[in-house]
Amino acid sequence: MRPFDSQKLLMTLVILTLAFGGTVYLNLSEQELTTLVVPANDLPIYHLITASDLMTATLSTAVLPAAPLQQTSELAGRYTSQTLTAEEAVTDAQLVPAVDEKYVLNTTAVSISATAAMAYNGRLAAGAMVTVWTVTDAGQAQPLLEEALVLDVQKAEGQGESEEKAFPYVVILAVPRPKQAELLTAVATGSLMLTFTP
């Protein structure tokens, strides 16, 4: 019979012991639980989170992301910047930066195609407050919407190449509901400009 390789068997046993030991250790450490606030249901993108969207859950620290938000006050009144999964911890990066409640109450997310100049060449970011200007037929600029919250700025995708060259960005604004129609009309005429104070 071919000589038995006892050292190889020993090595295999050591590796399996390490794997098993590590698994047991992690399973035991998963028992460390923490209680925090999480979405009760899946929340869509650009959704204004209210207290009714939230619930308290006890989760294992092993499955938590770095720096999760824990209190209702840290989540309620803020917009989601991506889809949130039910009963999973939320981080600051998944939400639009916190702003005064008055800028988000009774608003709707409206996206507008933006030129490089309008999006400050990509430097305009979520959380910024902008003024939307429209230009009249007489060539006069007038503020259409003051202090509108920027929910997100994305690179334009899925349009024609020429369209993407002309409007390389999409800016999503929290627009007060009464102003929606006026803004959409201005978008259709294509005479918009954004300004913001850093």
Partner 1 sequence: MFANVLNQITGKLDSRFILTLFFPSLIFWGGLTAVYFAHSGLETAVTTWRAQNADIQIIQIIMALAWVTFFAYLLGNQLTWLTKQFEGYWNWFPLLGKRLAKLRQKHYQRVLAWLDENGRYEAIYYGFPFPNEPEAVMPTRLGNILKNSEQYPFKRYDADAVLLWPRLYAVLPDGFSKTLEAAKASLDFMLVVSCLSGLFAFMSGIYLLAVQSVWWLFLLCFLGGLVVAWLAYNGALEAAITYGQLIKSAFDLYKDDLCKQLGYELPKSLVEERAFWGNVYDLIYRGEVAYPGALRYAGIKETVPATAPAQPWLVRWLQSFFGKGETP
Tell me the closest approach of the beta carbon of residue 106 to partner 1, in angstroms.
Answer: 27
Q: What would the two tokens of residue 154 be?
A: 């994305």
Nearest distance from residue 84's CB to partner 1, in Å?
A: 10
Q: Closest distance between partner 1 and the C-beta of residue 122, in Å? A: 6
Residues 6 or more apart in contact with residue 88 via CB below 8 angstroms = 38, 39
Q: Any residues with CB less than 8 A from the CB of 38 and at least 6 apart, and which?
A: 54, 55, 56, 57, 59, 86, 87, 88, 89, 90
Q: Which is nearer to partner 1, 13 or 19 (CB)?
A: 19
Q: How far is the CB of 116 from partner 1 (least distance, A)?
A: 11
Locate the DSSP E strands across 25-118: 33-39, 54-60, 107-114
Residue placing its CB nearer to partner 1 in the complex, 4 or 181: 4
Query: Tokens representing 159?
Result: 């349009």
Q: How far is the CB of 1 from partner 1 (least distance, A)?
A: 8
Kindly list the distances between the CA atom of residue 147 and the CA atoms of 4, 102, 130, 161, 183, in Å, as whole numbers in the listed order: 79, 10, 5, 32, 14
Nearer to partner 1, 125 or 184 (CB): 125
From the list 96, 145, 94, 153, the residue with the least C-alpha distance to 119 is 153
Nearer to partner 1, 20 or 146 (CB): 20
Q: Closest CB to partner 1 among 109 and 145? A: 109
Binding site for partner 1 (CB under 8 A): 2-3, 5, 7, 15, 18-19, 22-23, 25-27, 29-30, 32, 61-63, 65-66, 81-82, 91, 93-94, 122-123, 125-126
- Nearer CB in complex with partner 1: 81/134: 81
Give the separation between CA 151 and CA 111, rounded to whole angstroms. Answer: 9
Smallest gap from Cβ 77 to partner 1, in A, equals: 20
